[in-house]
Structure 1
Amino acid sequence: MKRQCFIISFFITLSLATLAQGTVEDFRRADAARATFRNKAYNIPGVFHWIKGKHLCWYLNNARTGKEFILLDADNNKQQQAFDHNKIANSLSVKLGKKMKGSALPFTDIEFSADLKNIFFQVDSAKLKCNRTNGQCDVVEIVKPAKSPEVYWGDAFDERGNKPVGSPDSVWLAFVRDNNVFIRNKKDVSKVHQLSFDGDGVNYYSSYITWSPDSKKLVAYKVTAGDRRLIHFVESSPADQLQPKLHTRQYLKPGDGLPQKQPQLFLIDEKKHVAIDDQHFKNQYFLENIVWNPDSKFFTFEFNERGHQRYRILKVSANNGEVKTVVDEASKTFIDYSGKKFRHDVLAASEIVWASERDGWNHLYLYDTHTGTVKNQITKGEWVVRSVIHVDETKRRILFTASGLDPDHDPYLEHTCVVNFDGSGFTRLTTSNADHTTTFSDDYKFFIDYESRIDLPPVCKLYEADPVSEKMILQTADLTDLQKTGWKSAEVFSAKGRDGETDIWGIVIRPSNFDALKKYPVVEMVYAGPQSFYVPKSWSSNSYLHSIAELGFIVVQVDGMGTSWRSKAFHDVCWKNLKDAGFPDRIAWIKALAQKYSFVDATRVGIFGGSAGGQNAAAAVLFHHDFYKAAVASCGSHDNRVDKIWWNEQWMGYPIGPHYAESSNAVHADKLGGKLMLIVGELDDNVDPASTLQVANGLIKANKDFELVVIPGLGHSGGGEFGERKRRDFFVKHLLNVDPPSWDEAYRKGEPEKVIK
């Protein structure tokens, strides 16, 4: 009997050891994963560079033997090395005094001479010219490092910072002095004329002045200044001194007062100021993009109304300043000006190509600039125009990208298409079930198609565009070495969302030692910012997500409702409701995954993200803690009233109302029902660190247990390597129910490639 008990106990122990997750070996394998999976896939070029005026294209290929520069001759369907790599390496070794290899040349960008006999590139501070045939290199210039001005994204635009603006006929200079508009004759500097007299310190004229083509009129904005908000950071541990430093940034937040601009027209011959009625563009978020008609009879500009529910192109008569509406875009929710706005003026025909979601999908329309009417809808269907590559005004054709064209395929896969201005002649240049990135020669006769999917290795092909025909395969990815490491491709998975009808798409990543007999908790990487979608579609090794999976998790990424590039209705879910973050769709998707696969444990689900993803991650354990058990939120925009103005008013609207508080993690901190870690850098000037600390304050007041990690000297990030280790430990502890090993054990550096196998 004792012997039987021993045997049973032995096999139970052996079984538990076999099924163990979150071990030292798992941590070491996870730590090694990113290095192990990196640079193991070959023949995957980066960017393709067409040489201007020629049907020649060069690209840098990561061949198994090393870096190789390839030159493609599209006319003759040939490609070869762009130069003799070994000869140039030998020449550089002599010239620069250090050994170079032809397979590892120290540059990635080249430029061809006009006669194609030489190439130019830069190594450190030396710009070199090398003969393509004999490899002889000479230093042509020592380039001093360019001093980039310190520009912060939140800085207010300096309306007074422009230089005098010359007229097209080179007779006049227009400038602003003492807050008013002046012109000066270039030949006779004594001829100075003041055109405006109503500018002062409160209502001043912008120095960004726009002349009419005939040089007889100009437009200048009269500006009323808005609010100036500052945020402050204390750098606790600066490298150059013992004592802390105070940093200050300009940072407008939702509800702050914005500058208000009024275009003013000036007639040069009469020295006359023509005031323009502002009734069509009051309560502006911004005015921009003044465009004069070639005949100088009128100009147009764009008006984005505060709250982003109306966007107009307005037309102003150069004779009397009369304002008429050309395009009047309106929405009951929001106009996605920051992601989908497209305008192209066909000046010779007085037309505008304009993008709109008015029929529920992002499409192109052709407007008559004179009458302000739609001549016709150019594209149409239950799919979206993603971008416009080229507008051919002569052939009256538009080259563009689109997604959602194939009902049975992933709706985010991007394709290249062409259509005539009148909507006829719609043709797809790419058709396969893959994501397509195309790069065209400058005459649009040829294009290169980078074709891949997250689960389909890339193939690069040369095509002739009109009519479309495949010419040759340039490169086919080689994943042999990557697959030998144990790496496995992500799986594409779709399931129905909250409505039981809409397909929600995501990816699934398994650990390299995956065992279908085990039960794996789920870790979701989340970012539900409405400005785009985030599940990758083109191929990559996804080494970061794989590194998390190595700890013993199934890692997923999902795009739920409220994100972009599906229908307008799909996107509108986010409006005034960022706390939604597609959670009903995410939860339904993960449950469907668990129903399909027995190894997926939907009772142990964790989630992490940064920035908007940090807001989402914390919201998961505040509003959906019956499903999500653990969350790590980095640099989160937890209260949309505390974050930057443009992003939050785009989706949450204006004016500020109770819906802002309804989406706030800080306001609802008392609802915490799962485990939560907050990570923030003390110098985050993208999302105010106060956003995270206000959540912490709410949690403390509600007597909630949580972890707070504040990282000295760090800006907007997931916490760097320290934050990554904290994140791994957190999920191992709370999802695997295992005490993580010490860092001395887990991160002992050895030979990563041997560790991971």
Structure 2
Amino acid sequence: MTEEFDTLWRRAQPFLPWNLAQRTRNLRVTPTWFADGSAFWYARETAVGPEHVIVEAETGNAALAFDRDAMRAALAALDTDPDAALARLEILDREGGMALDGAAYAFDGVRLRLMRASQGEPLDLLSPDGRHALFLRDGDLWLRAVASGAKTRLTDTGAPHFEWAKSPDQSLETIRLRRQGIALPPVALWSPDSRKILTHQLDERRVKSLPLVQNLPDGGGLRPVLHDLRVAFTGDAELPMAHLAVIDIASGQVTPHAGGPVHVSETSPLEKAEGWWSAAGDKVWFLDHDRYETRVSLIEMDTTTGASREVIRETETAFVDVNMEFGRRPNIRILDGSGEAIWFSQRDGWAHLYLIDLADGAVKRQLTQGEWVVRDILAVDPEARRVVFLAGGMGPCDTPYQRKVCAVSLDGGEVEILTPERGDHDAVMRDLGWADARAVADRAGPLPAAVAPGGRHFVVTRAPIDGLPVSELRRADGTLVARVECGSCAQDDVILPEPFETRAADGETMLHGMIWMPEGAREVRSIPILEMIYPGPQCIEQPLSAWPADPSEFFKTALAGAFARIGIAVVILDARGTPFRSKAFHDLCHRRLHDPGYLEDHASAIAELCDRHPALDPGRVAIMGHSAGGHAAARAILAHGDVWQTAIATAGSHDPRLYNHAWPEKWNGPLIRDDAGGDSYAAADNSRLAAGLRGALMLGHGDLDDNVHPAQTQRLACALIEAGHDFDLLMTPNDDHYSFPRAPYVVRREMAFLVRHLSKSGPAI
């Protein structure tokens, strides 16, 4: 590194994500409601650690739940690190009931007295009544009686790669979790009466092996470690399949699903919260997807016989979503008491909710409609016949992606916009199903949720595009009760993004993006440009506010601001083929992995921004991306070297044929081979374009990436070497898909690379 870059790096230091996070607090309130809905508690972030605050729902009056110093002293008797214990502490009630690591205590202001020991063990899945716990042993399911400790074996057919209640190897984080010492509890869903479980036996026996070498073993030693995963690549004939079954814990009776096994993608239906029990325990419902996600069906299964029937089917030529954002809980709810279900569909061209009859799958009514989208269901009140949800692009918004809290009656009527103010409205979702069961196993109290039990109040965080977020307590009709918390950080700590609109390359479609402009003097063509790209197509890249609470989004916005601090303008654009707009807009991505995110749209936007801002230099444009963004960044410089002269591509999925089949096959369809030896995915392989490199390219990868295998980057590097091109290659030991792009060393190398290649002369910009 040169002295000039060292100066820039020091200038950027205070604004880099890991440093800025130390000065930023309370970007969102995460409320945990008491059972009667009369109050909630949350952990207020302070310079010396969390403060536990109780807020009264009717008045908004807030008070500390206890004296922090007294509690810290009491915790010192239980834990050698009382500050860490304080961060894990939960409040159970207003009378001094506390919980830590599943154990319940009474706090009298001085000491903590144990009321109930933790019922679970780290790998247990507790029943709703707390009397039994499921655990795994050698591929089979076992049951433990909490009171006596007696153990009963529930299954005896577990075998290597054919294990009960297992998460798929291709979950994208199997090795990362293993290295962190995180072992998952059984993948199972207890019935409400705690008498049965819905689970699966996961068949990975014929799925091909994917090795990953760990060159620096975590426990020390010289000999590298070989990790072995079972992962199906795009086009593979054999896929992991889940054999669903219901097990009666008293009799041990195993009732398999008579309809045969179901597909798993990165995870199984139960892990995606796509399974539901009836109140009586006589039925379960689950979602069944075809391999290419062109069909999704709601299946009802008799828990006594295993017989099943299809309640409703949704099909699309391109792909079907049950939530427009990858990894979010499906926007489907079973209303067992009334024999109905809330169903999510884009059949009218937009993402909306429908009420269906569980008896025959007939649509009783469309609950929401219009040129906007339902993002997430927050709560359903079957008694009041009301659903509360987040909607995108409704009412006054800075972008069509910002959300508002809305509600609608299950019996029909107009949608109520409960938070009409400008900005994005963020609300905490309570996951149900297996994800909920996992969380409950580690807690003694309820899970956080935006909407209070009974639905009379909710908590929302309103985040403007040009300021700090504010968390508010509101009544069911949206009227304000109280401002609960304001995000805090010195305004000078951030360069705010400027939203912009532009036309796509087709000259018609309106696109939206953000630009972070450096401060100070702006001479003509004096500012280089960096585009940060992630083309989805399962999500968008631009943040919804300047101060997002999500850690990944915060990292991104902070990094953009840090680049702007050293004189680089940063652009983020969501082009055609991304979600959260119309179905037709999203479908434009289908079968286009060879052109990730419509790169011509990005090129057009860069040119227009340079016309609007004469200080921007179209001759010094860089692009950087990670994962699918890494594929797009490399593709940009290889195919459009006249627009982007510099690129950083980290953990790039440079050839979608070398990836977990579920993601590419949803967006690009089946792998079809031709008589000439090619296939329908070959055009998406970046190595085919390696000879065309004209600018400066940096490739990066962590050698323990269990999401995008390091072979992806190595194959592109090999093609570049064979083409005789110079490029930078950074491979870091023991970094995975998540840790690599967030590592300070990696960020420093990336910044140095950009400074070197975006400078007009020398490293100083």
With normalisation by structure 1, the TM-score equals 0.77
User: Does 1:522 find its partner at 2:496?
Assistant: no
**Is this contact kept in 1: 2:75–2:85, CA < 8 A?**
no
User: Does 1:137 find its partner at 2:111?
Assistant: yes
**Is this contact kept in 2: 1:165–1:175, CA < 8 A?**
no
Q: 1:376 deviation in Å?
A: 1.6
C-alpha distance in structure 2 between counterparts of 1:648 and 1:76, whole Å: 51
Aligned to 2:149: none
Q: 1:165 deviation in Å?
A: 12
Aligned to 1:330: 315
C-alpha distance in structure 1 between counterparts of 2:292 and 2:590, whole Å: 11
Q: In 2 relative to 1, CA 161–512 (structure 1 residues): closer, same or farther, beyond 3 Å? A: farther
C-alpha distance in structure 1 between counterparts of 2:302 and 2:491, whole Å: 64
User: Does 1:26 find its partner at 2:33?
Assistant: no
Q: How does 1:434-449 map to 2 (within 5 A)?
A: 434-438=423-427, 439-449=450-460
User: Does 1:232 find its partner at 2:221?
Assistant: no
**Is this contact kept in 1: 2:204–2:230, CA < 8 A?**
no
Structure 2 letter corresponding to 1:643: Y
Q: In 2 relative to 1, CA 731–105 (structure 1 residues): closer, same or farther, beyond 3 Å? A: closer
User: Does 1:684 find its partner at 2:691?
Assistant: no
Q: How does 1:291-370 map to 2 (within 5 A)?
A: 300-315=285-300, 324-337=309-322, 341-370=330-359
Mean alpha-carbon deviation: is it higher for 353-362 or for 297-306?
Answer: 297-306
Q: 1:591 deviation in Å?
A: 2.2
Q: SS of 1:729's equivalent?
A: helix
1:350-399 deviation line (CA, Å, top 9, x unaligned):
22211111221111112222223212211111111101111221222111
Mean alpha-carbon deviation: is it higher for 288-297 or for 671-680?
Answer: 288-297
Q: 1:53 aligns with which of 36, 39, 42?
A: 36
Q: 1:45 deviation in Å?
A: 4.9
Aligned to 1:754: none
Structure 2 letter corresponding to 1:729: A
Aligned to 1:727: 750
C-alpha distance in structure 1 between counterparts of 2:85 and 2:144, whole Å: 43
Q: How does 1:57-136 map to 2 (within 5 A)?
A: 57-62=40-45, 68-88=51-71, 107-117=86-96, 119=98, 130-131=107-108, 135-136=109-110
Aligned to 1:9: none
**Is this contact kept in 2: 1:562–1:571, CA < 8 A?**
yes
**Is this contact kept in 1: 2:650–2:699, CA < 8 A?**
yes
Q: SS of 1:594's equivalent?
A: helix
**Is this contact kept in 1: 2:378–2:451, CA < 8 A?**
no
Q: SS of 1:608's equivalent?
A: strand
1:641-692 deviation line (CA, Å, top 9, x unaligned):
1012222222222245533111111233223232211111222222111111
Aligned to 1:607: 623
Q: 1:570 deviation in Å?
A: 1.8
Aligned to 1:506: 513
**Is this contact kept in 2: 1:310–1:329, CA < 8 A?**
yes
Q: 2:661 aligns with which of 623, 645, 650?
A: 645
C-alpha distance in structure 2 between counterparts of 1:236 and 1:42, whole Å: 38
Aligned to 1:258: 239
Structure 2 letter corresponding to 1:52: A
Q: How does 1:155-554 map to 2 (within 5 A)?
A: 161-163=140-142, 227-238=206-217, 240-256=220-236, 257-259=238-240, 300-315=285-300, 324-337=309-322, 341-406=330-395, 409-438=398-427, 439-465=450-476, 467-479=477-489, 481-483=490-492, 487-513=494-520, 515=522, 519-540=526-547, 542-554=557-569
Aligned to 1:593: 609
C-alpha distance in structure 2 between counterparts of 1:38 and 1:176, whole Å: 47
C-alpha distance in structure 1 between counterparts of 2:665 and 2:701, whole Å: 23
Aligned to 2:129: none
Q: In 2 relative to 1, CA 516–44 (structure 1 residues): closer, same or farther, beyond 3 Å? A: farther
Mean alpha-carbon deviation: is it higher for 406-415 or for 334-343?
Answer: 334-343
**Is this contact kept in 2: 1:419–1:427, CA < 8 A?**
yes
- Aligned length, in residue pairs: 668
**Is this contact kept in 1: 2:496–2:546, CA < 8 A?**
no
Q: 1:626 deviation in Å?
A: 1.6
Aligned to 1:575: 590
C-alpha distance in structure 1 between counterparts of 2:246 and 2:31, whole Å: 45
Q: Which segments of 5 or more consecutive residues in structure 2 lack a partner in the other structure?
A: 125-135, 146-151, 160-185, 428-449, 548-553, 674-678
Q: 1:23 deviation in Å?
A: 5.1
Structure 1 letter corresponding to 2:612: K
1:324-356 deviation line (CA, Å, top 9, x unaligned):
542121111111355574322222332221111
Structure 1 letter corresponding to 2:682: A
Q: In 2 relative to 1, CA 476–357 (structure 1 residues): closer, same or farther, beyond 3 Å? A: same
Q: 1:715 deviation in Å?
A: 2.3
C-alpha distance in structure 1 between counterparts of 2:188 and 2:78, whole Å: 50
1:577-636 deviation line (CA, Å, top 9, x unaligned):
123222222222222222221211222110111111111111111122221111111111
Q: 1:725 deviation in Å?
A: 2.4
Structure 2 letter corresponding to 1:587: A
Q: 1:700 aligns with which of 721, 724, 744?
A: 721
Aligned to 2:128: none
**Is this contact kept in 1: 2:255–2:304, CA < 8 A?**
no
Mean alpha-carbon deviation: is it higher for 297-306 or for 247-256?
Answer: 297-306
**Is this contact kept in 1: 2:106–2:112, CA < 8 A?**
yes
Q: In 2 relative to 1, CA 143–729 (structure 1 residues): closer, same or farther, beyond 3 Å? A: farther
C-alpha distance in structure 2 between counterparts of 1:300 and 1:461, whole Å: 36
C-alpha distance in structure 1 between counterparts of 2:113 and 2:525, whole Å: 61
1:696-722 deviation line (CA, Å, top 9, x unaligned):
111122222222222233222227333
Percent identical residues: 28
**Is this contact kept in 2: 1:234–1:244, CA < 8 A?**
yes
**Is this contact kept in 2: 1:506–1:556, CA < 8 A?**
yes
Mean alpha-carbon deviation: is it higher for 489-498 or for 310-319?
Answer: 310-319
Structure 2 letter corresponding to 1:137: R
Q: In 2 relative to 1, CA 624–457 (structure 1 residues): closer, same or farther, beyond 3 Å? A: same
CA RMSD of aligned residues (A): 4.5
Structure 1 letter corresponding to 2:13: D
Structure 2 letter corresponding to 1:423: G
C-alpha distance in structure 1 between counterparts of 2:615 and 2:652, whole Å: 31
Q: In 2 relative to 1, CA 230–621 (structure 1 residues): closer, same or farther, beyond 3 Å? A: same
Q: SS of 1:107's equivalent?
A: helix
With normalisation by structure 2, the TM-score equals 0.76
Q: SS of 2:662's equivalent?
A: helix
Structure 2 letter corresponding to 1:329: E
Q: 1:54 deviation in Å?
A: 4.1
Structure 1 letter corresponding to 2:751: R
C-alpha distance in structure 2 between counterparts of 1:50 and 1:222, whole Å: 36
C-alpha distance in structure 2 between counterparts of 1:320 and 1:727, whole Å: 59
Q: 1:562 aligns with which of 562, 577, 584?
A: 577
Q: 1:176 deviation in Å?
A: 5.2
C-alpha distance in structure 2 between counterparts of 1:591 and 1:221, whole Å: 53
Q: 1:31 deviation in Å?
A: 3.0
Larger radius of gyration: 1
C-alpha distance in structure 1 between counterparts of 2:463 and 2:192, whole Å: 47
Q: SS of 1:410's equivalent?
A: coil
Q: 1:513 deviation in Å?
A: 4.8
Aligned to 1:153: none
Q: Which segments of 5 or more consecutive residues in structure 1 lack a partner in the other structure?
A: 1-20, 151-156, 167-172, 181-206, 747-757
C-alpha distance in structure 1 between counterparts of 2:264 and 2:110, whole Å: 60
Q: In 2 relative to 1, CA 311–165 (structure 1 residues): closer, same or farther, beyond 3 Å? A: farther
C-alpha distance in structure 1 between counterparts of 2:735 and 2:687, whole Å: 22
**Is this contact kept in 1: 2:141–2:153, CA < 8 A?**
no
